[in-house]
Amino acid sequence: MGGLFDLNDLIVEDEEDAVVVDADGVSGSSSSSSSISVSGSSNSCSSGLCLELWQACAGPLIFLPKKGSIVVYLPQGHLEHACELPPSEFYNLPSHVFCRVIDVKLHAEEATDEVYAQVSLAPDSEIEKKFEVGEIEVDYEEEEIEGLSKSTTPHMFCKTLTASDTSTHGGFSVPRRAAEDCFPPLDYNQQRPSQELVARDLHGIEWKFRHIYRGQPRRHLLTTGWSAFINKKKLVSGDAVLFLRGESGELRLGIRRATQFKAGVPFSLLCTESSKPSTLLAVAQAVSKKSVFHISYTPRANPSEFIVPFSKFAKSFNCSFAVGMRFKMRFETEDAAERRCTGLITGISDMDPSRWPGSKWRCLSVRWDDDAEINRHNKISPWEIDSSGSVVGSGSFSGLGSKRNRTALPLHRPDLSFTDGTGFPDFGESLRFQKVLQGQKIFRF
């Protein structure tokens, strides 16, 4: 069980029983739980800083829903995480389900430090009905679009580890600007400026490092204690480490492991709890009964989210897309920064017309303008397009004239078998380039 804190009921406790790790390993004592807070459980960090660290590890584009907010659950997106044949009942789900957020809890895996959230959702048929007839007002405020409001973390840096950084005989080379912004100041009047740093991870464990400034040319290094950290966390070249300094000067330490892909699917997804057939069956049964269901959401596992804000989803219905249109889309870079990539819409078609006809999940085939080393699909969903950027082309990017004229997606359909007889989706198809559709027909959502 990973460390946990609850966005709805965050409790701050004292930090008397912290675990401390230095060059010799673990010292000191700690409570048996590394949980960060839930009604009476132990807490090893300040709430704001823990939340900032979790978000930093998750990435700049993470969407975290608020309790009581409306979101849209997308079964096809959830199914992309499946590691086995899903139960046949799962294919009876509609292409999208309007839900109320009942609870959100944030976790970090003890073994890997991978962050994930447990989200409890309740299907809301009233929202669905109002949306279909255009009776629900959509608030497009940025705070709701982004979900949980984020506080800025100016004193933070993220670095992808090199072979030298992960060598057992070396240290961690820190860019000078990052070291001077995030670490306490060194006394450069000393012959060999150095200091001891103490940084706490998401589990409340403290790690001690020797920070020195040496070499020709001089550079900032973390030496003593760094090898113990690398070995304990099993970090390799390509993984990333981030440091975050709070207003009080407390250092926090996080990990972002490099995603490994197998047949186009993130390897870490292939056997997650949320993707097991038993979990998918429970979701299908809960949705059919309009009862609460629970989803484990790993933000870094897949850039396409299968829980999206209602406002973002609804806004895409008010837009028109056409073959030949240009668009912008936000992505995350290796250094945890945000980047906007551009491309061209080359086709519009159902991702899985036999089982989810009319679904807008990955209905847009696209061609990217560059070959950036970012995990990008060649099929995307309308709500993934950056609404703040212009979409131009032969067609218009216009809103519908009337709310009541909005075309609703089909919510129910017959149980159709898959054409290959397996009942299992061809996930590789989502990564293969789709043939360009001829003409300039405008598609409204």
Q: What is the mean pLDDT of residues 26-33?
A: 36
pLDDT at 121 over 50: yes
Measured between alpha carbons, how far is 445 from 440 in angstroms, rounded to an integer? 16
CB of 113 within 8 A of CB of 299? no
Average pLDDT over the chain, rounded to an integer? 74
Please, what are the domains in the chain? 156-251 (2.40.330.10)
> Which of 152-156, 242-246, 334-338 has the least mean pLDDT?
334-338
Residues in the chain: 445
CB of 364 within 8 A of CB of 381? yes
Measured between alpha carbons, how far is 106 from 427 in angstroms, rounded to an integer? 28
192: left (phi over 0), alpha (psi -120 to 50) or beta: beta
Per-residue model confidence (pLDDT) at position 227: 94
Radius of gyration of the chain (CA): 24
Q: What is the mean pLDDT of residues 61-73?
A: 89
Measured between alpha carbons, how far is 380 from 76 in angstroms, rounded to an integer? 12
Q: Quick one: DSSP state of residue 85?
A: P
User: Pick the residue with more confidence: 69 or 438?
Assistant: 69
The CA-atom distances, in angstroms, between 47 and each of 30, 315, 400, 443 are: 19, 33, 43, 46
pLDDT at 60 over 70: yes
pLDDT at 290 over 80: yes
Neighbours of 127 (CB within 10 A): 17
pLDDT-derived band at 69, boundaries 50, 70, 90? very high
CB of 16 within 8 A of CB of 10? no
Read off the pLDDT of residues 80-100 as tens digits, 9 standing for 90 and up.
877 677 889 999 999 999 999
**In 207-353, which residue ranges form alpha helices assigned H by DSSP?**
226-233, 277-289, 310-317
pLDDT at 411 over 50: no
* CA quadruple 120, 123, 124, 129: dihedral sign: positive
CB of 254 within 8 A of CB of 113? yes
> Which of 94-98, 121-125, 330-334 has the least mean pLDDT?
330-334
Put simply, whether the predicted model's pTM sits higher than 0.95 gets the answer no
Q: Quick one: DSSP state of residue 65?
A: P
DSSP string, 258-307: PPPEETTEEGGGTT-GGGSHHHHHHHHHHHHHT--EEEEE-TTT-SS-SE
Most confident of 17-26, 58-67, 242-251: 242-251
DSSP string, 416-436: ---TTSS----GGGGGSPPPP
